[in-house]
Chain A
Amino acid sequence: SAVISQKPSRDICQRGTSLTIQCQVDSQVTMMFWYRQQPGQSLTLIATANQGSEATYESGFVIDKFPISRPNLTFSTLTVSNMSPEDSSIYLCSAWENYGYTFGSGTRLTVV
């Protein structure tokens, strides 16, 4: 299966700033996804990122807050914009291939 490198693994950020999370896949994948896991909660899908088109956002998530790039079939970024303490979560990227979904190791974000 694909291997996903996600960085940073963790960060502490000031409120009002933005953080960009990167995911690099070691093979070309059609679909990539971004998830958020708030403390004690399930993994919630933020958006689907397809190469060559705009990301598709789930209900409750908007592009202005979570802009996503997908410049090629092996790379994607998620930006958490204008952060507030409520954005403190683990953010995970995922890739889908014929044999299933693979996840990055996650970015633990703390907003102070």
Chain B
Amino acid sequence: DQQVKQNSPSLSVQEGRISILNCDYTNSMFDYFLWYKKYPAEGPTFLISISSIKDKNEDGRFTVFLNKSAKHLSLHIVPSQPGDSAVYFCAVYNTDKLIFGTGTRLQVFP
């Protein structure tokens, strides 16, 4: 049973516009969430995280929103840049482990 779900396998956005990547989770006890970015032939790199005591965390062009009642989080990238083209994974921290979603491939075109 997939505990962390990213229902959109791909997303295509024009440069300069906003990219919104979504993630849903099943367990209301999860309390720490992360986003990772992965380029081909590289390992995932940490992007941004959020604790359940917050509903928003911002770092430059990246903002993560958490809706605990809906068990949903989203990553907003604005403005999107071609270098943002990658696979984005949301993850949940649970008892010393990371549980990953299936990923969303973002393509930012000029």
- The residues of A with any CB-CB pair to B shorter than 8 Å are 4, 6, 9, 31, 33, 35, 40-45, 48, 92, 94, 96, 100-106, 108
| Count of B interface residues, CB-CB < 8 Å | 20
Contact assessment for A104 and B96 in the assembled complex, using a CB-CB cutoff below 8 Å: no
Q: A42-B4, A42-B89, A43-B89 are in contact. Are A103 and B100 (CB under 8 A)?
A: no
Query: Which B residues touch A45, using CB under 8 A?
Result: 97-99
For A40, A41, A43, A105, the residue with the greatest tally of chain B CB atoms inside 10 Å of its CB is A43
Contact assessment for B89 and A96 in the assembled complex, using a CB-CB cutoff below 8 Å: no
Query: Which B residues touch A92, using CB under 8 A?
Result: 43-44
Query: Which B residues touch A6, using CB under 8 A?
Result: 43
Complex: A7 Cα to B2 Cα, angstroms: 29
Contact assessment for A43 and B96 in the assembled complex, using a CB-CB cutoff below 8 Å: no
Contact assessment for A105 and B41 in the assembled complex, using a CB-CB cutoff below 8 Å: yes
Complex partner residue of B103 from A42, A44, A106, CB under 8 angstroms: A42
Minimum Cβ distance to chain B for residue A67 (Å): 20
Closest to A35 in B: B100
Contact assessment for B100 and A42 in the assembled complex, using a CB-CB cutoff below 8 Å: yes
Closest to A43 in B: B100
Contact assessment for A101 and B98 in the assembled complex, using a CB-CB cutoff below 8 Å: yes
Minimum Cβ distance to chain A for residue B5 (Å): 9
Complex partner residue of A4 from B43, B49, B102, CB under 8 angstroms: B43
Contact assessment for A33 and B103 in the assembled complex, using a CB-CB cutoff below 8 Å: no
Query: Which B residues touch A43, using CB under 8 A?
Result: 44, 89, 98, 100
Q: A42-B4, A42-B103 are in contact. Are A106 and B98 (CB under 8 A)?
A: no
Complex partner residue of A31 from B89, B96, B101, B103, CB under 8 angstroms: B96
